[in-house]
Amino acid sequence: MINNFIDKCSAAREGSCDTMDVEPSNMRELFTFETGLVLETIGKMFVNIPPFNDHIDPNTGQMLISIGKKLKRK
């Protein structure tokens, strides 16, 4: 999904595509949503996977999960 997004952004920037099926505002929403997914996933890794949760403050993982969920809602 992210590769498709990157390809469309690159094509738009280079002017090599005449019509894009993603408007700039939709691209921003897609980027925001996917950033939320990434932050939530990293937060869950920090909270649940032993090599991470031994060395990272639990509040960091919870904060990333919270930010990720807020970004996914928008």
Q: What is the pLDDT of residues 36-47, one digit of tens each?
A: 999 999 999 998
**How many Cβ atoms from other residues are within 10 Å of residue 54's Cβ?**
7
Nearest to 62 by CA among 44, 74, 49: 44
Model pTM greater than 0.85? no
Count of structural domains, the chain: 1
Torsion of CA 25, 6, 44, 66, to 10 degrees: -20
Owning domain of residue 21: 2-73
pLDDT band (50, 70, 90) for residue 53: confident
Q: What pLDDT does residue 74 have? A: 67
Higher-scoring residue by pLDDT: 17, 37 = 37
